[in-house]
Amino acid sequence: MEQNSISVRFNPNKRNDILAVNNTQNLLIGLISSMKTGLFVDSLETGIEHERLHRLLAETPQLKQEAAIIEMLSLLRNEGERTSYSILIPYLLTANNGDETERILRERFFGIELFIHRAKNLYHFLEYVNKKNIVSIEKEDLKRGILAWDMGELISWARIACETGYIDEKTAWEYIKYAGEQCRQTFRNWNEIGKSYLIGQAMITDKKEEADRAIRYFLLATQDENSPWRKNHFSLSTT
């Protein structure tokens, strides 16, 4: 897969005080999510005009109305897609193919269509990346789960909610800090975080173009010399 120079947006007016420095790593948990949405990657400010942010909220299928973003933030923090993933991944790891995974899930659960669909998405994605030899996704990556997907989305949506007036800065930073704390308990480096986000993205979509775009963001985030992940060491300590 061809890689171009990484396309990330930095805030030219970013504060350089101690608080901002301490929050950089937490913000970068959401690097791929920020890249995907076109946000600044290094500040609470999104760098997107309010009209476009409101349009983004209106076009998000999970939000029946803009104010529902508060519920979305709570869901991402407390559960997100992690519950669905934790249910289906043991069967995906033990089955020999996608059809066997579907059969096992249908036998085990009632009303399981959503899990079936997501299991298929994951199986096809893993088959695709293995065949193309694009990204190495190991069993340990799958076992670590998709926390970084939920936390990356939590960070981006918290920033958008703050800038559109649904939450204040203090609350936004609390969400971002929480994301950082959770990821430091689960991951050892940016590469693991990137794979976790990639797996989460793969689980919720069956569109090849979206998978290719997510892979490209992952490769740029982890390999390009200009990536913030390459320039900021992932520390397990907050001190």
What pLDDT is stored for residue 4 in this prediction? Answer: 44
pLDDT at position 2: 39
How much is the average pLDDT of 21-43? 89
Query: What pLDDT digit, counting tens, does each position of 159-189 carry?
Result: 999 999 999 999 999 999 999 999 999 999 9
Q: Are 147 and 180 in contact (CB under 8 A)?
A: no
- What pLDDT, in 10s, does the model give residues 84-118? 888 878 877 877 776 777 777 776 665 567 778 88
**Alpha-carbon gap, residue 65 to 234, rounded angstroms:** 36
pLDDT single digits (tens) 56-82? 999 888 787 888 899 999 999 998 989
How far is CA 79 from its chain centroid? 14
Q: Please state, in angstroms and rounded to a whole number, the distance separating the CA atoms of residues 144 and 148.
A: 10
- Tell me the per-residue pLDDT of 109-157, one tens digit each, with 9 for 90 and over: 655 677 788 888 998 999 999 888 889 999 999 999 999 999 999 999 9
Q: Which two tokens stand for residue 217?
A: 């963001």
> Using CA atoms, how far apart are residues 73 and 136, in angstroms rounded to an integer?
31
The model's pTM is 0.81
CA dist., res. 151 & res. 79, Å (int): 10
